[in-house]
Structure 1
Amino acid sequence: MPPAGPTLRQWRLGHELRKLRQQAGMSATGAAAQLGVNTANISMIESGRGAISAERLRTLVGVYACADEDLVDALAAMTGGRTRGWWDEYREHLPAALIDVAELEHHAMQLCAVLGMHIPALLQTPDHARALFAQVVPPLRAYEVEHRLAFRIRRQGVVYGSDPKPYRAIIHEAALRMGFGGPDIARAQLRHIAEVSTQENISVRVIPFSKGTFPGNGQPFDYAHGAVRQLDTVQLDVHHGCEFLDSEAQLGKYRTILERMEDCALGTEESRDFINHIAESI
Protein backbone atom coordinates (compact mmCIF):
# COMPACT_ATOMS: atom_id res chain seq x y z
CA MET A 1 0.00 0.00 0.00
CA PRO A 2 1.48 3.40 -0.95
CA PRO A 3 2.30 5.83 1.85
CA ALA A 4 -0.25 8.47 2.78
CA GLY A 5 2.04 11.43 2.23
CA PRO A 6 2.44 13.12 -1.15
CA THR A 7 5.41 12.44 -3.37
CA LEU A 8 7.75 15.33 -4.17
CA ARG A 9 6.12 15.69 -7.58
CA GLN A 10 2.62 15.82 -6.09
CA TRP A 11 3.76 18.36 -3.52
CA ARG A 12 5.36 20.51 -6.21
CA LEU A 13 2.20 20.54 -8.33
CA GLY A 14 0.14 21.69 -5.36
CA HIS A 15 2.77 24.27 -4.43
CA GLU A 16 2.74 25.75 -7.93
CA LEU A 17 -1.07 25.93 -7.93
CA ARG A 18 -0.98 27.73 -4.59
CA LYS A 19 1.49 30.25 -6.01
CA LEU A 20 -0.75 30.89 -9.01
CA ARG A 21 -3.75 31.42 -6.74
CA GLN A 22 -1.84 33.83 -4.53
CA GLN A 23 -0.52 35.73 -7.54
CA ALA A 24 -4.14 36.10 -8.67
CA GLY A 25 -4.99 37.61 -5.28
CA MET A 26 -7.61 34.94 -4.65
CA SER A 27 -8.38 33.12 -1.41
CA ALA A 28 -8.79 29.36 -1.22
CA THR A 29 -12.45 29.95 -0.47
CA GLY A 30 -12.84 32.09 -3.59
CA ALA A 31 -11.07 29.51 -5.75
CA ALA A 32 -13.29 26.76 -4.38
CA ALA A 33 -16.42 28.76 -5.19
CA GLN A 34 -15.23 29.34 -8.76
CA LEU A 35 -14.50 25.65 -9.20
CA GLY A 36 -17.69 24.47 -7.53
CA VAL A 37 -15.96 22.53 -4.73
CA ASN A 38 -15.43 23.15 -1.03
CA THR A 39 -12.38 24.86 0.42
CA ALA A 40 -11.04 21.59 1.79
CA ASN A 41 -10.68 20.29 -1.79
CA ILE A 42 -8.46 23.25 -2.71
CA SER A 43 -6.39 22.77 0.44
CA MET A 44 -5.93 19.07 -0.31
CA ILE A 45 -4.83 19.79 -3.89
CA GLU A 46 -2.41 22.52 -2.81
CA SER A 47 -0.86 20.27 -0.15
CA GLY A 48 -0.31 17.53 -2.75
CA ARG A 49 -2.65 15.18 -0.91
CA GLY A 50 -5.55 15.56 -3.30
CA ALA A 51 -5.47 14.52 -6.95
CA ILE A 52 -6.62 16.81 -9.74
CA SER A 53 -7.28 15.94 -13.38
CA ALA A 54 -5.64 17.79 -16.24
CA GLU A 55 -9.02 19.13 -17.35
CA ARG A 56 -9.89 20.50 -13.92
CA LEU A 57 -6.39 21.97 -13.54
CA ARG A 58 -6.84 23.91 -16.77
CA THR A 59 -10.17 25.20 -15.47
CA LEU A 60 -8.54 26.21 -12.20
CA VAL A 61 -5.60 28.08 -13.74
CA GLY A 62 -8.08 29.75 -16.08
CA VAL A 63 -9.80 31.12 -12.97
CA TYR A 64 -6.38 32.38 -11.88
CA ALA A 65 -5.94 34.07 -15.30
CA CYS A 66 -2.61 32.34 -15.94
CA ALA A 67 -1.65 33.13 -19.53
CA ASP A 68 1.59 31.09 -19.58
CA GLU A 69 0.52 28.21 -21.82
CA ASP A 70 3.84 26.37 -21.51
CA LEU A 71 3.58 26.40 -17.72
CA VAL A 72 -0.04 25.26 -17.84
CA ASP A 73 0.86 22.37 -20.17
CA ALA A 74 3.73 21.37 -17.87
CA LEU A 75 1.48 21.42 -14.81
CA ALA A 76 -1.22 19.45 -16.65
CA ALA A 77 1.37 16.76 -17.38
CA MET A 78 1.95 16.42 -13.62
CA THR A 79 -1.70 15.62 -12.79
CA GLY A 80 -3.46 12.32 -12.25
CA GLY A 81 -2.46 11.47 -8.69
CA ARG A 82 0.26 9.13 -7.52
CA THR A 83 2.02 6.97 -10.08
CA ARG A 84 4.45 4.28 -9.01
CA GLY A 85 8.04 4.27 -10.20
CA TRP A 86 10.87 1.84 -9.60
CA TRP A 87 11.93 3.94 -6.60
CA ASP A 88 8.74 3.00 -4.72
CA GLU A 89 10.24 -0.44 -4.15
CA TYR A 90 12.69 1.21 -1.74
CA ARG A 91 10.28 3.36 0.30
CA GLU A 92 10.31 0.98 3.26
CA HIS A 93 14.09 0.69 3.24
CA LEU A 94 15.48 4.18 2.58
CA PRO A 95 14.91 7.74 3.83
CA ALA A 96 12.08 9.53 2.03
CA ALA A 97 14.44 12.24 0.76
CA LEU A 98 16.41 9.68 -1.27
CA ILE A 99 13.20 8.47 -2.89
CA ASP A 100 12.36 12.09 -3.73
CA VAL A 101 15.75 12.52 -5.42
CA ALA A 102 15.15 9.53 -7.70
CA GLU A 103 11.67 10.77 -8.61
CA LEU A 104 13.06 14.25 -9.33
CA GLU A 105 15.79 12.85 -11.60
CA HIS A 106 13.32 10.63 -13.45
CA HIS A 107 11.04 13.52 -14.39
CA ALA A 108 13.76 16.12 -15.10
CA MET A 109 14.49 17.20 -18.65
CA GLN A 110 18.21 17.45 -17.94
CA LEU A 111 20.46 17.30 -14.89
CA CYS A 112 23.52 19.10 -13.61
CA ALA A 113 25.70 18.36 -10.57
CA VAL A 114 28.25 20.64 -8.90
CA LEU A 115 30.64 18.92 -6.45
CA GLY A 116 33.61 20.20 -4.50
CA MET A 117 34.59 17.22 -2.34
CA HIS A 118 32.77 14.21 -3.78
CA ILE A 119 32.22 12.40 -7.06
CA PRO A 120 28.65 12.89 -8.37
CA ALA A 121 26.36 10.02 -7.33
CA LEU A 122 25.33 9.30 -10.91
CA LEU A 123 28.98 8.81 -11.91
CA GLN A 124 30.12 6.68 -8.96
CA THR A 125 31.33 3.12 -9.35
CA PRO A 126 29.81 0.51 -6.99
CA ASP A 127 33.11 0.16 -5.10
CA HIS A 128 33.43 3.91 -4.64
CA ALA A 129 29.82 4.22 -3.46
CA ARG A 130 30.26 1.33 -1.00
CA ALA A 131 33.36 3.06 0.44
CA LEU A 132 31.31 6.23 0.96
CA PHE A 133 28.43 4.38 2.62
CA ALA A 134 30.93 2.85 5.05
CA GLN A 135 31.56 6.35 6.40
CA VAL A 136 27.91 7.30 7.02
CA VAL A 137 27.12 8.55 10.53
CA PRO A 138 25.50 6.78 12.32
CA PRO A 139 26.96 3.62 10.78
CA LEU A 140 24.80 1.63 8.38
CA ARG A 141 24.19 -2.09 8.80
CA ALA A 142 25.48 -4.35 6.04
CA TYR A 143 22.02 -4.84 4.52
CA GLU A 144 21.40 -1.05 4.63
CA VAL A 145 24.60 -0.49 2.65
CA GLU A 146 23.43 -2.97 0.04
CA HIS A 147 20.00 -1.32 -0.19
CA ARG A 148 21.63 2.07 -0.77
CA LEU A 149 24.10 0.67 -3.26
CA ALA A 150 21.38 -1.04 -5.30
CA PHE A 151 19.32 2.13 -5.20
CA ARG A 152 22.22 4.29 -6.39
CA ILE A 153 22.92 1.96 -9.30
CA ARG A 154 19.22 2.07 -10.30
CA ARG A 155 19.34 5.89 -10.17
CA GLN A 156 22.20 5.89 -12.66
CA GLY A 157 19.83 4.55 -15.29
CA VAL A 158 18.74 8.14 -16.02
CA VAL A 159 22.12 8.80 -17.64
CA TYR A 160 23.14 5.30 -18.79
CA GLY A 161 19.78 3.80 -19.78
CA SER A 162 18.04 3.40 -23.12
CA ASP A 163 16.82 7.00 -23.11
CA PRO A 164 19.58 8.86 -21.24
CA LYS A 165 19.09 12.41 -20.08
CA PRO A 166 21.57 15.20 -20.77
CA TYR A 167 23.88 15.37 -17.75
CA ARG A 168 26.51 17.96 -16.84
CA ALA A 169 28.93 17.57 -13.95
CA ILE A 170 31.29 20.24 -12.64
CA ILE A 171 33.81 18.67 -10.28
CA HIS A 172 36.56 20.38 -8.31
CA GLU A 173 40.03 18.82 -8.38
CA ALA A 174 39.74 18.18 -4.64
CA ALA A 175 37.00 15.61 -5.25
CA LEU A 176 39.19 13.80 -7.77
CA ARG A 177 42.03 13.47 -5.27
CA MET A 178 40.10 12.34 -2.18
CA GLY A 179 41.02 8.69 -2.75
CA PHE A 180 37.99 7.06 -1.14
CA GLY A 181 38.43 3.29 -0.78
CA GLY A 182 42.17 3.30 -1.43
CA PRO A 183 44.33 3.64 -4.58
CA ASP A 184 42.80 0.85 -6.66
CA ILE A 185 39.20 1.97 -6.12
CA ALA A 186 40.09 5.63 -6.57
CA ARG A 187 41.97 4.93 -9.82
CA ALA A 188 39.12 2.85 -11.21
CA GLN A 189 36.64 5.60 -10.27
CA LEU A 190 38.60 8.26 -12.14
CA ARG A 191 38.99 6.07 -15.21
CA HIS A 192 35.25 5.42 -15.13
CA ILE A 193 34.51 9.15 -15.14
CA ALA A 194 36.89 9.73 -18.02
CA GLU A 195 35.30 6.90 -19.99
CA VAL A 196 31.64 7.87 -19.47
CA SER A 197 32.45 11.51 -20.22
CA THR A 198 32.86 10.48 -23.85
CA GLN A 199 29.14 9.68 -24.03
CA GLU A 200 27.18 12.18 -26.05
CA ASN A 201 24.79 13.00 -23.20
CA ILE A 202 27.43 13.40 -20.47
CA SER A 203 29.66 16.43 -19.98
CA VAL A 204 32.28 16.48 -17.22
CA ARG A 205 34.31 19.60 -16.51
CA VAL A 206 36.92 20.08 -13.83
CA ILE A 207 37.83 23.14 -11.78
CA PRO A 208 41.56 22.72 -10.97
CA PHE A 209 43.25 24.04 -7.84
CA SER A 210 45.10 26.51 -10.08
CA LYS A 211 41.86 28.43 -10.62
CA GLY A 212 41.99 29.56 -6.98
CA THR A 213 38.68 30.73 -5.54
CA PHE A 214 35.38 29.92 -7.20
CA PRO A 215 31.73 30.88 -6.59
CA GLY A 216 29.36 29.00 -4.34
CA ASN A 217 31.72 28.46 -1.37
CA GLY A 218 32.05 24.80 -2.28
CA GLN A 219 28.37 24.00 -1.58
CA PRO A 220 27.50 20.86 -3.56
CA PHE A 221 24.18 20.94 -5.37
CA ASP A 222 22.21 19.29 -8.13
CA TYR A 223 20.16 21.32 -10.58
CA ALA A 224 17.20 19.53 -12.18
CA HIS A 225 15.70 21.26 -15.20
CA GLY A 226 11.92 21.02 -15.42
CA ALA A 227 9.74 21.19 -18.52
CA VAL A 228 9.73 24.99 -18.00
CA ARG A 229 12.12 27.16 -15.99
CA GLN A 230 9.54 27.76 -13.26
CA LEU A 231 9.60 24.03 -12.51
CA ASP A 232 13.37 23.74 -12.09
CA THR A 233 14.57 22.39 -8.74
CA VAL A 234 17.81 22.71 -6.78
CA GLN A 235 18.68 19.80 -4.51
CA LEU A 236 21.17 20.37 -1.70
CA ASP A 237 22.94 17.58 0.18
CA VAL A 238 23.11 18.49 3.86
CA HIS A 239 24.15 16.52 6.94
CA HIS A 240 20.56 15.74 7.90
CA GLY A 241 19.49 14.64 4.40
CA CYS A 242 18.36 16.62 1.35
CA GLU A 243 16.75 20.00 0.83
CA PHE A 244 14.82 21.03 -2.27
CA LEU A 245 14.68 24.67 -3.39
CA ASP A 246 12.28 26.05 -5.99
CA SER A 247 11.57 29.73 -5.35
CA GLU A 248 12.34 32.12 -8.20
CA ALA A 249 15.02 33.87 -6.15
CA GLN A 250 16.71 30.61 -5.15
CA LEU A 251 16.68 29.22 -8.67
CA GLY A 252 18.11 32.46 -10.02
CA LYS A 253 20.92 32.37 -7.46
CA TYR A 254 21.96 28.83 -8.31
CA ARG A 255 21.72 29.42 -12.05
CA THR A 256 24.19 32.27 -11.62
CA ILE A 257 26.51 30.13 -9.50
CA LEU A 258 26.35 27.38 -12.10
CA GLU A 259 27.20 29.77 -14.94
CA ARG A 260 30.14 31.23 -13.02
CA MET A 261 31.49 27.82 -12.09
CA GLU A 262 31.34 26.76 -15.73
CA ASP A 263 33.37 29.87 -16.55
CA CYS A 264 36.03 28.63 -14.07
CA ALA A 265 36.11 25.06 -15.36
CA LEU A 266 38.35 23.45 -17.96
CA GLY A 267 36.83 22.37 -21.26
CA THR A 268 35.53 18.82 -21.64
CA GLU A 269 38.54 17.42 -23.52
CA GLU A 270 41.02 19.18 -21.23
CA SER A 271 39.07 17.92 -18.21
CA ARG A 272 39.21 14.34 -19.48
CA ASP A 273 42.98 14.58 -19.92
CA PHE A 274 43.25 16.13 -16.46
CA ILE A 275 41.27 13.26 -14.87
CA ASN A 276 43.35 10.63 -16.66
CA HIS A 277 46.56 12.33 -15.50
CA ILE A 278 45.42 12.17 -11.87
CA ALA A 279 44.43 8.50 -12.30
CA GLU A 280 47.89 7.65 -13.66
CA SER A 281 49.57 9.38 -10.70
CA ILE A 282 47.73 7.39 -8.01
Structure 2
Amino acid sequence: MAPSTPLPTARRRRLGTELRRLRERADMSATEAGAQLGATQSRISNIEAGRYGVSADRVRTLARIYDCSDQSLVEALAGMTGERKRGWWEEYRELLPASLLDLAEVEHHATAIRVSQVINIPGLLQTADYARAIFREAVPELVPHEVEHRISHRIKRQAVLYHENPPTYTAIIHEAALRMQFGGKAATKSQLSHLIAMSERENVTVVIIPFDGTAFPSAGHGIDCFHGPIPQLDTILLDTAHNGTFIDAAAQLDRCRLVLNRMEGVALKPALSRDLIHDIAESI
Protein backbone atom coordinates (compact mmCIF):
# COMPACT_ATOMS: atom_id res chain seq x y z
CA MET A 1 0.00 0.00 0.00
CA ALA A 2 1.04 3.59 -0.57
CA PRO A 3 2.03 5.74 2.40
CA SER A 4 -0.58 7.82 4.13
CA THR A 5 -1.34 11.36 3.09
CA PRO A 6 -2.95 14.11 5.19
CA LEU A 7 -4.86 15.41 2.17
CA PRO A 8 -6.72 12.57 0.44
CA THR A 9 -7.87 13.32 -3.08
CA ALA A 10 -11.52 13.31 -4.10
CA ARG A 11 -10.95 10.15 -6.14
CA ARG A 12 -9.32 8.31 -3.23
CA ARG A 13 -12.10 9.40 -0.87
CA ARG A 14 -14.73 8.11 -3.29
CA LEU A 15 -12.93 4.77 -3.63
CA GLY A 16 -12.86 4.51 0.18
CA THR A 17 -16.56 5.35 0.39
CA GLU A 18 -17.45 2.61 -2.08
CA LEU A 19 -15.31 0.05 -0.21
CA ARG A 20 -17.03 1.02 3.04
CA ARG A 21 -20.43 0.53 1.39
CA LEU A 22 -19.41 -2.95 0.22
CA ARG A 23 -18.24 -3.82 3.74
CA GLU A 24 -21.45 -2.56 5.32
CA ARG A 25 -23.58 -4.50 2.82
CA ALA A 26 -21.64 -7.59 3.88
CA ASP A 27 -22.55 -6.75 7.51
CA MET A 28 -18.88 -6.90 8.44
CA SER A 29 -16.97 -4.68 10.87
CA ALA A 30 -13.69 -3.00 9.98
CA THR A 31 -11.99 -5.28 12.51
CA GLU A 32 -13.39 -8.39 10.83
CA ALA A 33 -12.45 -7.13 7.38
CA GLY A 34 -8.92 -6.32 8.53
CA ALA A 35 -8.47 -9.78 10.02
CA GLN A 36 -9.40 -11.44 6.72
CA LEU A 37 -7.20 -9.07 4.74
CA GLY A 38 -4.27 -9.47 7.13
CA ALA A 39 -4.45 -5.83 8.22
CA THR A 40 -5.55 -3.88 11.27
CA GLN A 41 -8.90 -2.24 11.86
CA SER A 42 -7.21 1.17 11.62
CA ARG A 43 -5.80 0.28 8.20
CA ILE A 44 -9.27 -0.53 6.89
CA SER A 45 -10.64 2.68 8.41
CA ASN A 46 -7.86 4.76 6.85
CA ILE A 47 -8.44 3.18 3.44
CA GLU A 48 -12.15 3.94 3.69
CA ALA A 49 -11.40 7.55 4.71
CA GLY A 50 -9.08 7.97 1.73
CA ARG A 51 -6.04 8.55 3.93
CA TYR A 52 -4.27 5.41 2.67
CA GLY A 53 -3.91 4.28 -0.90
CA VAL A 54 -4.78 0.74 -1.89
CA SER A 55 -3.69 -1.42 -4.83
CA ALA A 56 -6.01 -2.85 -7.48
CA ASP A 57 -5.24 -6.37 -6.23
CA ARG A 58 -6.25 -5.44 -2.70
CA VAL A 59 -9.48 -3.88 -3.96
CA ARG A 60 -10.30 -7.17 -5.67
CA THR A 61 -9.38 -9.09 -2.50
CA LEU A 62 -11.65 -6.85 -0.39
CA ALA A 63 -14.46 -7.36 -2.90
CA ARG A 64 -14.10 -11.13 -2.51
CA ILE A 65 -14.07 -10.79 1.29
CA TYR A 66 -17.27 -8.74 1.01
CA ASP A 67 -18.80 -11.31 -1.35
CA CYS A 68 -19.35 -8.70 -4.09
CA SER A 69 -20.33 -10.44 -7.33
CA ASP A 70 -20.73 -7.25 -9.39
CA GLN A 71 -17.59 -7.57 -11.50
CA SER A 72 -18.21 -4.34 -13.42
CA LEU A 73 -18.19 -2.46 -10.10
CA VAL A 74 -15.14 -4.33 -8.82
CA GLU A 75 -13.12 -3.58 -11.95
CA ALA A 76 -14.26 0.06 -11.97
CA LEU A 77 -13.07 0.41 -8.37
CA ALA A 78 -9.77 -1.34 -9.21
CA GLY A 79 -9.35 1.21 -12.01
CA MET A 80 -9.51 4.03 -9.47
CA THR A 81 -6.24 2.91 -7.84
CA GLY A 82 -2.64 3.57 -8.77
CA GLU A 83 -2.95 7.32 -9.40
CA ARG A 84 0.46 8.52 -8.18
CA LYS A 85 1.02 11.58 -10.35
CA ARG A 86 -0.16 14.85 -8.82
CA GLY A 87 -2.83 16.59 -10.88
CA TRP A 88 -2.29 20.13 -12.16
CA TRP A 89 -4.90 21.36 -9.66
CA GLU A 90 -2.56 20.60 -6.74
CA GLU A 91 -0.61 23.79 -7.53
CA TYR A 92 -3.67 25.64 -6.20
CA ARG A 93 -3.75 23.69 -2.91
CA GLU A 94 -2.86 26.70 -0.72
CA LEU A 95 -4.57 29.25 -2.95
CA LEU A 96 -8.16 28.06 -3.41
CA PRO A 97 -10.81 26.21 -1.39
CA ALA A 98 -10.32 22.44 -1.43
CA SER A 99 -13.76 21.99 -3.04
CA LEU A 100 -12.51 23.67 -6.23
CA LEU A 101 -9.57 21.26 -6.41
CA ASP A 102 -11.97 18.36 -5.92
CA LEU A 103 -14.11 19.71 -8.77
CA ALA A 104 -11.14 19.81 -11.16
CA GLU A 105 -10.18 16.26 -10.20
CA VAL A 106 -13.70 14.88 -10.64
CA GLU A 107 -13.98 16.59 -14.04
CA HIS A 108 -10.60 15.19 -15.09
CA HIS A 109 -11.73 11.59 -14.51
CA ALA A 110 -15.34 11.90 -15.76
CA THR A 111 -16.37 9.90 -18.82
CA ALA A 112 -19.21 12.35 -19.51
CA ILE A 113 -20.42 15.59 -17.92
CA ARG A 114 -23.93 17.07 -17.87
CA VAL A 115 -24.65 20.41 -16.20
CA SER A 116 -27.55 22.81 -15.71
CA GLN A 117 -27.45 26.52 -14.97
CA VAL A 118 -30.18 29.14 -14.72
CA ILE A 119 -28.36 32.43 -14.07
CA ASN A 120 -24.74 31.88 -15.18
CA ILE A 121 -23.05 30.30 -18.18
CA PRO A 122 -21.45 27.01 -16.97
CA GLY A 123 -17.84 27.39 -15.84
CA LEU A 124 -16.30 25.16 -18.52
CA LEU A 125 -17.87 27.39 -21.19
CA GLN A 126 -16.98 30.78 -19.69
CA THR A 127 -14.56 33.33 -21.13
CA ALA A 128 -11.97 34.87 -18.83
CA ASP A 129 -13.71 38.30 -18.87
CA TYR A 130 -17.08 36.76 -18.03
CA ALA A 131 -15.56 34.68 -15.21
CA ARG A 132 -13.80 37.77 -13.85
CA ALA A 133 -17.11 39.63 -13.69
CA ILE A 134 -18.73 36.69 -11.86
CA PHE A 135 -15.94 36.45 -9.29
CA ARG A 136 -15.98 40.20 -8.66
CA GLU A 137 -19.57 39.83 -7.46
CA ALA A 138 -18.63 37.23 -4.83
CA VAL A 139 -19.80 37.77 -1.25
CA PRO A 140 -17.67 38.21 0.77
CA GLU A 141 -15.64 40.18 -1.75
CA LEU A 142 -12.53 38.51 -3.14
CA VAL A 143 -9.28 40.48 -3.24
CA PRO A 144 -7.74 40.95 -6.74
CA HIS A 145 -5.20 38.13 -6.50
CA GLU A 146 -7.91 35.71 -5.34
CA VAL A 147 -9.99 36.65 -8.38
CA GLU A 148 -7.05 35.98 -10.72
CA HIS A 149 -6.27 32.61 -9.09
CA ARG A 150 -9.88 31.53 -9.58
CA ILE A 151 -9.89 32.67 -13.20
CA SER A 152 -6.67 30.80 -14.04
CA HIS A 153 -7.99 27.68 -12.29
CA ARG A 154 -11.28 27.89 -14.23
CA ILE A 155 -9.52 28.32 -17.58
CA LYS A 156 -7.21 25.36 -16.86
CA ARG A 157 -10.26 23.25 -16.00
CA GLN A 158 -11.61 23.91 -19.48
CA ALA A 159 -8.73 21.91 -21.01
CA VAL A 160 -10.72 18.75 -20.21
CA LEU A 161 -12.96 19.55 -23.19
CA TYR A 162 -9.97 19.64 -25.57
CA HIS A 163 -8.30 16.33 -24.64
CA GLU A 164 -7.60 13.76 -27.31
CA ASN A 165 -10.51 11.69 -26.01
CA PRO A 166 -12.60 14.32 -24.21
CA PRO A 167 -15.74 13.53 -22.23
CA THR A 168 -19.05 14.34 -23.84
CA TYR A 169 -20.33 17.57 -22.31
CA THR A 170 -23.99 18.63 -22.22
CA ALA A 171 -24.95 22.07 -20.90
CA ILE A 172 -28.60 22.84 -20.13
CA ILE A 173 -28.86 26.62 -19.78
CA HIS A 174 -31.85 28.85 -19.12
CA GLU A 175 -32.40 31.86 -21.36
CA ALA A 176 -32.00 34.06 -18.27
CA ALA A 177 -28.29 33.21 -18.17
CA LEU A 178 -27.89 34.40 -21.77
CA ARG A 179 -29.39 37.78 -20.95
CA MET A 180 -27.46 38.50 -17.74
CA GLN A 181 -24.80 41.02 -18.78
CA PHE A 182 -21.92 40.12 -16.47
CA GLY A 183 -19.03 42.41 -17.34
CA GLY A 184 -21.13 44.66 -19.59
CA LYS A 185 -22.33 44.41 -23.19
CA ALA A 186 -18.98 43.74 -24.83
CA ALA A 187 -18.09 40.92 -22.42
CA THR A 188 -21.56 39.43 -22.80
CA LYS A 189 -21.45 39.47 -26.60
CA SER A 190 -18.02 37.85 -26.52
CA GLN A 191 -19.28 35.24 -24.07
CA LEU A 192 -22.27 34.36 -26.24
CA SER A 193 -20.07 34.11 -29.35
CA HIS A 194 -17.79 31.75 -27.44
CA LEU A 195 -20.80 29.72 -26.32
CA ILE A 196 -21.91 29.31 -29.95
CA ALA A 197 -18.41 28.25 -30.99
CA MET A 198 -18.19 25.70 -28.18
CA SER A 199 -21.64 24.31 -29.04
CA GLU A 200 -20.30 23.42 -32.48
CA ARG A 201 -17.60 21.13 -31.05
CA GLU A 202 -18.29 17.45 -31.61
CA ASN A 203 -18.19 16.57 -27.90
CA VAL A 204 -20.22 19.58 -26.67
CA THR A 205 -24.01 19.97 -26.70
CA VAL A 206 -25.69 23.20 -25.57
CA VAL A 207 -29.46 23.36 -25.15
CA ILE A 208 -31.46 26.37 -23.96
CA ILE A 209 -34.63 26.47 -21.88
CA PRO A 210 -36.52 29.52 -23.24
CA PHE A 211 -38.53 31.93 -21.14
CA ASP A 212 -41.71 30.71 -22.81
CA GLY A 213 -40.88 27.08 -22.05
CA THR A 214 -42.75 24.91 -19.59
CA ALA A 215 -41.96 24.69 -15.88
CA PHE A 216 -39.08 22.53 -14.72
CA PRO A 217 -37.89 21.27 -11.31
CA SER A 218 -35.06 22.46 -9.11
CA ALA A 219 -34.70 25.91 -10.65
CA GLY A 220 -32.89 27.39 -7.66
CA HIS A 221 -29.38 26.02 -8.19
CA GLY A 222 -27.08 24.44 -10.73
CA ILE A 223 -26.50 20.71 -11.01
CA ASP A 224 -23.35 19.12 -12.41
CA CYS A 225 -23.37 15.37 -13.09
CA PHE A 226 -20.00 13.68 -13.63
CA HIS A 227 -20.35 10.21 -15.08
CA GLY A 228 -18.03 7.49 -13.85
CA PRO A 229 -17.12 4.29 -15.70
CA ILE A 230 -20.41 2.80 -14.42
CA PRO A 231 -23.54 4.64 -13.18
CA GLN A 232 -22.90 3.61 -9.56
CA LEU A 233 -19.75 5.76 -9.63
CA ASP A 234 -21.40 8.93 -10.92
CA THR A 235 -20.94 12.07 -8.82
CA ILE A 236 -23.29 15.05 -8.52
CA LEU A 237 -22.27 18.58 -7.59
CA LEU A 238 -25.06 20.81 -6.29
CA ASP A 239 -23.90 24.36 -6.96
CA THR A 240 -25.39 26.90 -4.54
CA ALA A 241 -24.56 30.50 -3.74
CA HIS A 242 -22.83 29.42 -0.52
CA ASN A 243 -20.83 26.38 -1.60
CA GLY A 244 -20.80 23.34 -3.83
CA THR A 245 -21.82 20.01 -2.33
CA PHE A 246 -20.77 16.66 -3.79
CA ILE A 247 -23.25 13.81 -3.42
CA ASP A 248 -22.98 10.16 -4.42
CA ALA A 249 -25.73 8.29 -2.55
CA ALA A 250 -27.81 6.18 -4.94
CA ALA A 251 -31.18 7.83 -4.13
CA GLN A 252 -29.74 11.33 -4.54
CA LEU A 253 -28.06 10.39 -7.82
CA ASP A 254 -31.37 9.08 -9.15
CA ARG A 255 -33.23 12.23 -8.11
CA CYS A 256 -30.70 14.58 -9.71
CA ARG A 257 -30.57 12.53 -12.92
CA LEU A 258 -34.36 12.82 -13.11
CA VAL A 259 -34.17 16.60 -12.64
CA LEU A 260 -31.59 16.92 -15.41
CA ASN A 261 -33.65 14.69 -17.70
CA ARG A 262 -36.73 16.84 -17.17
CA MET A 263 -34.80 20.08 -17.71
CA GLU A 264 -33.24 18.75 -20.90
CA GLY A 265 -36.67 17.58 -22.00
CA VAL A 266 -38.13 21.11 -21.95
CA ALA A 267 -35.10 22.72 -23.61
CA LEU A 268 -34.87 23.62 -27.28
CA LYS A 269 -32.98 21.29 -29.58
CA PRO A 270 -29.29 22.17 -30.17
CA ALA A 271 -29.81 23.93 -33.52
CA LEU A 272 -32.71 26.04 -32.22
CA SER A 273 -30.74 26.76 -29.05
CA ARG A 274 -27.82 28.02 -31.13
CA ASP A 275 -30.19 30.27 -33.10
CA LEU A 276 -31.58 31.74 -29.86
CA ILE A 277 -28.08 32.45 -28.52
CA HIS A 278 -27.19 34.17 -31.80
CA ASP A 279 -30.39 36.28 -31.75
CA ILE A 280 -29.75 37.43 -28.17
CA ALA A 281 -26.12 38.29 -28.98
CA GLU A 282 -27.27 40.35 -31.96
CA SER A 283 -29.80 42.23 -29.82
CA ILE A 284 -27.25 43.38 -27.21
- TM-score, length-scaled by structure 2: 0.96
Counterpart CA distance in 1 for 2:143 and 2:163 is 30
Decide which moves more: 240-249 or 154-163: 154-163
1:213 Cα offset (Å): 1.6
Aligned residues of 2:7 and 2:51 also touching (Cα < 8 A): yes
Question: 1:120 and 2:122 equivalent?
Answer: yes
Alignment of 1:124-273 (within 5 A): 124-273=126-275
Cα shift readout 1:135-166 (whole Å, capped 9, x = no counterpart) = 11111111111111111100000113343221
Specify the alignment match of 1:100 in structure 2. 102
Q: How many residues align?
A: 281
Q: 2:13 aligns with which of 11, 14, 35?
A: 11
In structure 2, what is the equivalent of residue 36 of structure 1? 38
Q: Distance in 1 between matches of 2:96 and 2:174?
A: 29
Give the unaligned 5+ runs of structure 1.
none
Instruction: Write the letter of the residue equivalent to 2:195.
Output: I
**Structure 2: which 5+ runs fail to align?**
none
Identity percentage of aligned residues: 53
How far apart, in 2, do the equivalents of 1:3 and 1:131 lie? 36
Report deviation, 1:4. 1.4
| Deviation string, structure 1 residues 199-237 (Cα, Å, up to 9, x no partner) | 100000000010142122332110000011110000012
* 2:215 alignment partner AA: T
CA contact (8 A) 2:5 2:52 kept: no
Instruction: Output the amino acid matched with 1:267.
Output: K
Instruction: Report how far residue 3 of structure 1 moved.
Output: 6.6
Would you say the 8 A contact 1:157–1:164 is kept in 2?
no
Structure-2 separation of matches of 1:75 and 1:275? 41
Q: 2: CA distance between counterparts of 1:89 and 1:146?
A: 14
Q: Write the letter of the residue equivalent to 1:90.
A: Y
Letter of the 1:139 counterpart: E
Matching residue of 1:61: 63
SS in 2 for 1:251: helix
Q: Secondary structure at the match of 1:167?
A: strand
SS at match of 1:216: coil
Q: Distance in 1 between matches of 2:195 and 2:17?
A: 37
- TM-score when normalising by structure 1: 0.97
SS of 2:96's partner is coil
Q: CA separation in 1, counterparts of 2:109 and 2:188?
A: 31
Do the aligned partners of residues 246 and 259 (structure 1) sit closer, same or farther apart at CA in structure 2, a change above 3 Å counting?
same
